Structure 1
Amino acid sequence: MESAMEAVAWERMYAFFGAGGPVVLILAVMSVVALTIVLVKLWQFRALRINDLDAARAALSRYRSGRVREGLVRLEDSPNPLSQALARALRGVERGLPEDKVREEVHRYCRHALEGLRGGLRPLEVIGSLAPLLGLFGTVLGMIEAFRQLELAGNRVDPSVLSGGIWEALLTTAVGLAVAIPVVALLNWLERRVERLAHRMDDVVTQVFTEDLTELPESAEEESHEPARLRAAAPGR
């Protein structure tokens, strides 16, 4: 029973590729390549834990408290490029290097890390752009063949011949769109994740060389409360 079902499936697949011609075969290969690239990128993002911000936040908090060494220890086990960029910035600060040299080295590392994350996205962009064009090309070839068969038939025109040829021609366009739509969607999603990481890296590294102005220093808070205490202590009029 299973062998019969497999035989039917193979026959349908053979008929499908036979109807679409070499264009459908090329699109099938492109879809396999695109799927492989997407899976590799997902594995890469997961291995680098690009969404894990806990280590960077904890290290930055320790650095602002004056505990640079504790912050570096917190970043040692994190493969996240954001954490590694912050670790380089903290090492430069700990060694007392000039800010411009530290920034230049950190930016160099960030560019290198982001380039590695963008690897493979260009082929996805090419596949997403070429797939619908290949589908349209296959449709044009199929329409040419359908009308050629119509011309050869002469006065014995069979509408089924023309309709069958058009159906086979439009099949390539459908396959091309079926390949392009998910590829373009996944490409934009992957690019957005890389762009978000790049923004976070720039933001965190900049915080190393700036002051946190979200809270008032303790001396300022005491001064702000002092007039209120004086008014409370003053005798009533």
Structure 2
Amino acid sequence: MSQWWSAMGPLGWPLALCSLLALALILERLSVFLRLQPLSTAAGRAAVSACRTCEREHCKGRARGWRYGLALLLKHSALPAVQREELLGCWLLEERQRLNRQLRLLQLIGMLAPMLGLLGTVLGMLEMFANIAGQNSPVTPALLADGLWQALYTTVWGLLIAIPALAAGQGFALWAERYLEGVQALLNRCQLALDGLELELTGSPLATQWVLP
């Protein structure tokens, strides 16, 4: 382990900091996304039914995720449709910001880590050529291979940090977008149910068809 650490040279500490920060961000975001309320077809039907009859008891208690948006809609069901849409739009914006929080930082680490690794490689190669220039003995392939191995070591570690960070950042962004699309579609159906027009679920939270009241 000490040999690996010494091979990374002065860029070892920045790369270690990037790896720890990326791991902490991935675990924190994972805990947030795993607590999201699932959007099942049965739950969607129950939500639309609650809006059809204005059953405020449906969301009593401490609601989270899309259930909080439903509770907000039922609480202000007496407002005009335009005001309800503005209210839900503000809540969806806050929810989007909550889910996308820290993702840009995670993607920044994914872009910064390979740059730090490349910088370490360049510094290592400069040191290698400086040592070769100071030798009077012939330069052997083994000497070059040993120097290049150490120089390329930081690039490998930079890529090992960057790939999971970028994959997690993009994956969480797609997860958030998919979830918010489902929430928005469900709340739109609930809005219509309050006004007497419904969109009936046909198998998934995003699959809908028009049904006259």
Q: Which TM bucket (shorter chain)?
A: 0.7 to 0.9
Instruction: Name segments (4+ residues, structure 1) moved above 6 Å.
Output: none
Matched, 1:123 2:105: yes
- Per the TM alignment, residue 168 of structure 1 is displaced from its structure 2 partner at its CA by 0.4
TM-score w.r.t. the length of structure 1 is 0.76
Larger helix percent: 1
Match of 1:161 in 2: 143
Q: Which blocks of at least 5 consecutive residues in structure 2 are unaligned? A: 200-208
CA offset digits 1:67-120 (Å, max 9, x no partner): 211xx3222346432121122122222xx2111111111111111122112111
Match of 1:81 in 2: 65
- Matches of residues 13-162 of structure 1 in structure 2 within 5 Å? 13-47=1-35, 49-53=36-40, 55-64=43-52, 67-69=53-55, 72-77=56-61, 79-93=63-77, 96-162=78-144
Q: Which amino acid aligns with 1:108?
A: C
Q: Which blocks of at least 5 consecutive residues in structure 1 are unaligned? A: 1-12, 219-237
For the 8 Å contact 2:47–2:190, the answer to whether it is kept is no
Match of 2:166 in 1: 184
Q: 1:18 to 1:216 in 2, by over 3 A?
A: closer
Q: Which has the larger radius of gyration?
A: 1
Q: CA RMSD in A?
A: 2.1
SS in 1 for 2:47: helix
Distance in 2 of aligned mates of 1:170 and 1:60: 59
Count, aligned residues: 199
Q: Which amino acid aligns with 2:3?
A: A
For the 8 Å contact 2:100–2:176, the answer to whether it is kept is yes
Distance in 1 of aligned mates of 2:66 and 2:190: 13
